[in-house]
Amino acid sequence: MISWIQRTFQRHFRIIFIVLLGVTIISFIVTIGASSGSLNQSGRGGITRDFFGHNLASQADMQQLNSDAALSVELQIGYTGMDDQQLQQYALQRAAALHLAREWHLPAPTSEQQVDFIKGLRAFADEKGQFDAIRYDGFRRSLQNNPRTSEADIARVVADDTEIQTVRQLLDGPGYVLPADVREAMVRADTTWTIGVATVDYASFKPTIAPSATELGRYFQENAFRYQIAPRVVASAVEFPAINYIGQVQVTDAEVRAYYEANPAQFPAPTPAKEKAGKPLSTIKADPAKDFAAVRPQVEASLRLVRAKNLAAKAASDLAYGLYQAKVADGPALTAFLAAHHLSAKLLAPFTAEAGPAELGGSPEIAAAAFKLDAQQYYTEALPTPAGAAILLWQQQLPARTPLLSEVRAKVLADYTEGEKRQRFVQLGSTLHNFIAARIKAGESFDKAAGEAATGGIKIEAKTLAPFNMRNRPKDLNSTVAGALETLNKGQLSAMAVDADQGFLVYAAEKKMPNLNEAGPEFNAMRLTIASYMARLGANNYLGELVTAELKRTEPKVQ
C-alpha cells in the first residue's frame, strides 16, 4: 500500500508535497522543536507527563500519537516523508488541535464532512488530482491483509483530521501571495528540462598523496582538537562469571516448558523438510509437543544460564553490601577483605564515558557507573556483564589530554589524506567542467565530451534524461542534480557538485519555461495553491505556541 502511494504521488505531486511539508509541518517544527527534546525518556514506573490528555512519559501513548500522525501524513500527501523527530512534532500538533476542538466545543464531524475530507486526500487522487473511487476501493481492500493498519485506524485518523481541518480553518490567516511568488513557484515546478548528467566516481580518483613530516605536523597542530583523548577512568573489576554458578541451578520440566512458552521467538521449531510423507509443506500441521521436544535442550540451557546470571548478580550485590556494611577502606583493607572471600580484582584498561571497558563488553552503562566513583565512593553496585556480573573498583580518573603525534599518527595521516583527496577532487571537477564545456562549444554531444574527459582511471558515467519538470521528476533524480538546475540556463554546464562519493556535472540541453501569463488558468491554480498553504501559517504559529507552552508547563522539575 505504502509503496504504491509513494510511487504514484511522488511522480505527480512532488512540488505540492514539498510546499505542504515545508509550510504546514516543517514550519511548525521550527517553532517548537528546540523546546521539546526527547519526550519519553523519563517514562519509568509511575511517572506521568500529561499533554492534552496524553502521557508523554508513556511509551504506549507516544507510540499511538506517532502512529496516528504517520498515517495522517500518508493519507494527506501520499507518503510519510519525515524523520522521527519531525513526525513526533507533527503528532504533538495534532494533539493540540484536537484539544482546541474539545475546548471550543466543536461538534463532531458528520459522515458527510468525513466523506468530503476523504475525497480531498492525495492518497486517493488520480493523475489530475481528482478523487478516484477505484483507488479508494483498492486501498480499502489492501487493509484486509495489512497487519499494521486496520479500517478502524483509518476511520479514527480521518475523523480526527476532519475535526483538525475545522480548527485550522478557524485559525488560518488571509493567505496573501504576490504575483512574483507565483511566477517563481511556477518556474520551479513547471519548467521543462532536458539535461545531461555526468556522474564522476570518487572512489576511482586515486591521486598520490605523500605529505612531508612538516606538512603532517602542521595539519596535526591545526586540528589537534580532533584527536584529544577524552577523560578516562582506571578501574579494576571483581567478576562473577555465571558459569561458576551453573552447577547450583536446578530446574523442573514444568519450569522449562513455561520458559519456552514465555519466549517462543528465541526457540523456533526446526525447519521441516519441504515435503513429508508426500505432502506439501503448507499442508503439514504444527505439532507443539514435537516442536518443544526438538528444542528442549536449548531451552533448558538458556533457562539455566539466566538463573546462573541471577546468582552471579546476587553474589556481586552481596560483595558490594559487604563492603558497605564493614566500611572497608580502599587499599590494604580491601585487598584483605577480597582475599578472605577468595576473590581478586583484575585491572582493566582505561576507558572513556562513551565506551565502557572492553573486557566487560564495552557497556556504556558500566562506564556511566564507573564515572560516578571517586576516592570516597570507590566501588559500584552489582553490574550485569556479558559473562555474568561484576563490581568495579575505582583507581583514578585520567584527565583529558592532547596526545603526541606519534600516538595517533596513523589516524592523522588517514584524515590528512582524505581531506587532501577531497580538495583535489573538487579541483578535478573544475578541470572536467572546462574540458567538457569546451568540447560542447566545439560541437560535440555532452555524452561524448564527458566520455573523453574520463582519463587516468577516473570513471565517468554520462546520460541524457528524457524531458521532465519537477512535478513529474524522475524518481531516481539526485537532489544535488535537481539543485543545480536552479542556476542553469539553456546551453550551460554546471560546476561539479559533490554529494557523498560522487560528483555531478549537469548540462542544460533544453529549458522550456511555463506560461507565466497572470490571466492564464495555470497561474491562477498555482496562486490559489500557494495562498491556501500560506494561510496555514497563522494556524501553525498558534498551534506551535500552544504546544511549546504545554511542554513547558509539564516539563519535569529538576531537583
- pLDDT reported for residue 128: 67
Taking residue 91's Cβ as centre, other Cβ atoms within 10 Å add up to: 23
- pLDDT reported for residue 48: 80
Per-residue pLDDT reduced to its tens digit, 512-542: 999 999 988 889 888 888 888 787 777 888 8
CA distances (Å), 400 to each of 236, 350, 352, in order? 20, 12, 10
**pLDDT at residue 46 above 60?**
no
Q: What is the mean pLDDT of residues 225-250?
A: 95
- pLDDT reported for residue 174: 75
Number of Cα atoms under 13 Å in the Cβ half of residue 514? 22
Confidence band, pLDDT 50/70/90 cuts, at residue 360: very high
Q: How far apart are CA 97 and CA 114, in angstroms?
A: 17
- pLDDT reported for residue 82: 66
- pLDDT reported for residue 516: 92
- pLDDT reported for residue 83: 73
Taking residue 491's Cβ as centre, other Cβ atoms within 10 Å add up to: 13
Query: SS3 for 485-529, per residue?
Result: HHHCCCCCECCCEEECCEEEEEEEEEEECCCCCCCCHHHHHHHHH
Confidence band, pLDDT 50/70/90 cuts, at residue 286: low
Q: Are 257 and 263 contacting, i.e. CB atoms less than 8 angstroms apart? A: no
Q: What is the mean pLDDT of residues 395-404?
A: 94
**pLDDT at residue 33 above 70?**
no
Strand order in the sheet with 502-512: 460-464, 192-201, 502-512, 497-499
> Of 2-16, 257-271, 335-349, 504-518, which range is least confident?
2-16
Confidence band, pLDDT 50/70/90 cuts, at residue 403: very high
pTM: 0.57
Per-residue pLDDT reduced to its tens digit, 168-196: 888 887 778 899 999 998 998 899 999 99
**pLDDT at residue 27 above 50?**
no
Q: What is the mean pLDDT of residues 72-76?
A: 82
**pLDDT at residue 166 above 70?**
yes
Q: What is the mean pLDDT of residues 205-221?
A: 96
**pLDDT at residue 239 above 50?**
yes
- pLDDT reported for residue 19: 39
Taking residue 18's Cβ as centre, other Cβ atoms within 10 Å add up to: 16
Taking alpha carbons only, the member of 475, 406, 531 closest to residue 78 is 475
> Of 18-22, 190-194, 425-429, 540-544, which range is least confident?
18-22
| Cell, residue 266 | 528465541
- pLDDT reported for residue 16: 38
Q: What is the mean pLDDT of residues 297-302?
A: 94
**pLDDT at residue 135 above 90?**
no
- pLDDT reported for residue 170: 87
**pLDDT at residue 44 above 70?**
no
> Of 28-37, 42-51, 122-131, 362-371, which range is least confident?
28-37
Between 187 and 269, the higher pLDDT residue: 187
Q: What is the average pLDDT value for the chain, to the nearest integer?
A: 85
The residue type of 73 is: V
- pLDDT reported for residue 35: 41
Confidence band, pLDDT 50/70/90 cuts, at residue 59: confident
Query: SS3 for 309-348, per residue?
Result: HHHHHHHHHHHHHHHHHCCCCCCHHHHHHHHHCCCCCEEC
Burial zone of 257 (CB within 10 Å; 0-12 exposed, 13-18 middle, 19+ buried): middle
Q: What is the mean pLDDT of residues 485-495?
A: 94
**pLDDT at residue 30 above 60?**
no
Beta-bridge partner residues of 121:
none
Q: What is the mean pLDDT of residues 130-134?
A: 81
Q: Beta-strand (E) ranges in 213-259?
A: 232-241
**pLDDT at residue 305 above 50?**
yes
Number of Cα atoms under 13 Å in the Cβ half of residue 107? 5
Domain boundaries defined on the chain: 2-177+523-553, 192-220+408-512, 231-398
Between 348 and 7, the higher pLDDT residue: 348
Q: What is the mean pLDDT of residues 530-555?
A: 85
Q: What is the mean pLDDT of residues 225-244?
A: 95
User: Which single residue is written with the C-alpha cell 548540462?
Assistant: 507
- pLDDT reported for residue 300: 95
- pLDDT reported for residue 8: 36
